[in-house]
Amino acid sequence: MKVDDFKIVGTSVRRVDGLDKVTGQAKYTGDIIVPGMVEGKFLRSPYAHARILSIDTAEAERLPGLVAILTAKDLGDIHPYLGRKDRKDQPIIAMDRVLYVGQPVVAVAAVDAFTAEEALGKIRVEYEETPFVISVPEAIADGAPLIHSFAPNNICFQDELIKGDVDKGFAESDEIFEDTFEFPMVYHYSMEPHTTIAKVDSEGITVWSSNTHPFGIRQEIAEVFGCSLSKVRVIVPLVGGAYGSKSGGKIEPLVVALARQAATAVRVRQSVPEAMMTVRRHSAICKVKTGVKRDGTLVAKQAEIYLNTGAFAETGPIVTGRTLTRILGPYRIPHIKVKAYCVYTNTVSAASFRSIGGPQTAWATESQMDIIAQKLGVDPVQFRRKNLLRRGEELKPKGNPLDADLFKALDSVTQKIGWDGPVSKNGSGRGVAFGVTDPGAPLASTATVHVLSDGSVVLLAGTIEVGQGARTIMSQIVAEELSVPLERVTMRSTDTAYTPFDRSTGSSRSTTVMGKAVQLAAQDARRQLLELAAEQFEAPFEAIALRDGVAAAGNKAAAYGDLIHRHFAMQGGEIVGCGYAHSGMAPKPSNPLFWEIGIGAVEVEVDRETGAIRVKKYVSAADVGKALHPIQCEGQDEGAAMMGVGHTFYESIIYEGGQIVNSSLIDYKVPTFDDVPDEFEAILIEDQNGPGPYGAKGMGEGGIIPVAPAIANALAWSTGARIKELPLTPERVWRSLQKRV
């Protein structure tokens, strides 16, 4: 089949899960009922840092309907810590002390949620408060209380990137700019908070979970409870959003421990405030120093990045490592020195969040690019064009060269926005920014395609449907390769008991990596169908055509089901195709597997009396390689941009006295339809330059990155107010404007 013959891939078919979702028939973890299931709740720490002196559960134990109570003393026979193999620093429940407000201290199970909640109120915990640190400057200050004894100065992890000689570069620069930017803690706000059901019986451990890393969670649970992988089963129904908040174990191991204690199935459904006390995005402080020539040529960049990772490492070290590249931007800089620090604090742990480390660092780099352009008196678009890397150039040392045409992408957004300068004729501000990331996109994905005896097809693949449309995309690939109608393909939910292994759903990898595995599996099944047809028709391979579920050669034809029936002597049977996406799918070194590009251009109006900013136009461009489902691609990019609008204008988890003071959606504002730009457009750039099926590349993360700096740049050009701390609340903007008066 030629690329030009696409009929299903490349078209915006109806989503395979769409009808169930819009009619309320879709089943999520919280909808599942397991026989004998009881409800679980966690008693959480009210203190940011304290020793646990005693826990009195006597009154709660007398409560009718209580099934089980779990504390650290019940975990002596397991290994109750999560984390990196070299540093398992996170207990599944507080052991002898608490390290942040909201950390689970006691878990209870009862016949219903009301009884469980009542039981929590009858438990008495005695604490001894100890000093705590919330911000990075507090945590790294001399004499600050240590959160973990193995982490001097509360430094969890640090890394650096060096290229050229930065001191020489600054000596050769005509102008040097130094700025510090701050990015807030942000809550993921998946519509479905973390939910888990667990059962422990003679067959092992079964977990139903709202997560995106079922095989990783299986591994974590096996390690915690000291059992083989074959004794742990993780089932994932549809997931109501994740954005990184459901990567790896969150509440799953603790729910398993509670189910073991209760000797029956236990369900824990968290509320939004509880989910906010489970995981968040890293806040960041970025100190950036950049040297340039008078003609606008970038010469040197030095940066220090401090990430607030919370009480435990989680994925903090990985995020820290990614910031080294992401703070560079897509620019040609001969001399570079970047240091990044992951810092422990007494706050909820930070973890993966859409484009890890990208929004934080681009906020700094792309804002400073306009500061430089303004000082040099040059157009910010032309300043970027002068320094942009070209396709094939090196962005990070020893990494794969850039695989995209950034000039084409930049031209596409500036033309759509009507760019003729950073201030329009009517005084509106305009801004532009890049988001170029090196997604992890780890390999190791497996898929199987089963052609059944009636010609229908079942796909087994571990990619999780979190709302991004993965089931539709994977089904499209299978239908395309097997030449069958889309409605004949069914992708099953993930169940580690029978779904083949997949590394994870995240890092913009699903369409690229799992999509390749699915394509290979479908091609394997196609080959087997051709073999059956060749045998039964007594015809050569090249004479056989497959179309609409039928094999034909000359005047002979047979439906796929008939071929299978005859092969298995009319006893049914099935064809099974296997596909593996591993290191062989990309040239070495595959670091990264592909570059993900997001570019944003914006036009804004500012109410100088209130400080409110209105986004009049926003144009986003994504280099997708090949859009397998164009409408879903546009939706992904627009959704990412709107998440960027959230942390630009509103979102920030606020701590006071060690407590989160805005842990409800009344106090923590997210964008609504009123915040959608008056004119909003997503541009898909399709050069078929990706390593995925049909030349596809991952997307969905690049679009979130440029929003904040583009808007801040537009604000600065039109009003002179340069703000270096997010979010751009009306009050913050108004105060900045007053300083300009």
Over residues 36-73, the pLDDT tens digits come to 999 999 999 999 999 999 999 999 999 999 999 999 99
Same domain, 195 and 307: no
pLDDT in the model for residue 1: 33
Same domain, 311 and 237: no
> Are 688 and 626 in contact, with CB atoms under 8 Å apart?
yes
In a domain, 221, yes or no: yes
Instruction: Report the alpha-carbon distance of residue 253 to residue 90 in Å, rounded.
Output: 11
In a domain, 488, yes or no: yes
pLDDT in the model for residue 149: 95
The dihedral built from the CA positions of residue 262, 266, 272 and 277, taken in this order, carries a sign that is positive
Same domain, 629 and 658: yes
Same domain, 632 and 707: yes
With b for 16 or more beta-carbon neighbours within 10 A and e for fewer, the 332-346 pattern comes to ebbbbbbbbbbbbbb
User: Mean pLDDT across the stretch 365-383?
Assistant: 98
pLDDT in the model for residue 574: 95
Q: What is the CATH number of the domain that holds 518?
A: 3.30.365.10
Same domain, 20 and 46: no
Residue 588, pLDDT above cutoff 80:
no
Instruction: Give the containing element (helix H, strand E) for 561.
Output: helix 560-567
Same domain, 565 and 448: yes
In a domain, 151, yes or no: no
Residue 2, pLDDT above cutoff 60:
no
Same domain, 374 and 233: no
Instruction: Give the containing element (helix H, strand E) for 417.
Output: helix 406-417
In a domain, 245, yes or no: yes
| Structure token pair of residue 205 | 């451990």
In a domain, 138, yes or no: no
Same domain, 601 and 721: yes
pLDDT category at 534 given cuts 50, 70, 90 is very high
Q: Which of 538, 555, 585 corresponds to the end of one domain?
A: 585
Domain count, the chain: 3
Same domain, 415 and 326: yes
Listing from the earlier edge strand, what are the strands of the sheet with 298-310? 155-163, 335-344, 298-310, 283-292, 175-183
* Positions of E strands within 164-313: 175-183, 195-201, 204-209, 232-236, 266-269, 283-292, 298-310
User: Mean pLDDT across the stretch 574-592?
Assistant: 78
| Structure token pair of residue 118 | 């009542």
pTM, entire model: 0.96
Q: Which of 585, 618, 643 corresponds to the end of one domain?
A: 585
pLDDT in the model for residue 583: 63
118 classed as catalytic: no
| Structure token pair of residue 517 | 């595995």
In a domain, 176, yes or no: no
620-668: per-residue pLDDT in tens?
999 999 999 999 999 999 999 999 999 999 999 999 999 999 998 899 9
Residue 185, pLDDT above cutoff 70:
yes
The β-bridge partners of 163 are 336
Instruction: Report the alpha-carbon distance of residue 738 to residue 741 in Å, rounded.
Output: 5
Active-site residue identified among 480, 701, 725, 731: 701
303-321: per-residue pLDDT in tens?
999 999 999 999 999 999 9
94-114: per-residue pLDDT in tens?
999 999 999 999 999 999 999
Same domain, 436 and 462: no
In a domain, 362, yes or no: yes
Q: Which of 276, 306, 334 corresponds to the end of one domain?
A: 276
Amino acid code (one letter) for 266: V
205-217: per-residue pLDDT in tens?
999 999 999 999 9
Same domain, 631 and 569: no
In a domain, 182, yes or no: no
Tell how many helices (H) and how many strands (E) occur in the chain.
18, 31
Q: What is the CATH number of the domain that holds 58?
A: 3.90.1170.50
Same domain, 563 and 474: yes
Instruction: Report the alpha-carbon distance of residue 128 to residue 377 in Å, rounded.
Output: 58
Amino acid code (one letter) for 408: K
323-340: per-residue pLDDT in tens?
999 999 999 999 999 999
> What is the pairing mode between strands 266-269 and 38-44?
parallel
3-state SS record for 280-330: EECEEEEEEEEEECCCCCEEEEEEEEEEEEECCCCCHHHHHHHHHHHCCCC
pLDDT in the model for residue 6: 42
Domain with 523, as residue range(s), is 3-26+442-585
Residue 292, pLDDT above cutoff 50:
yes
Instruction: Report the alpha-carbon distance of residue 60 to residue 69 in Å, rounded.
Output: 9
Residue 441, pLDDT above cutoff 90:
no
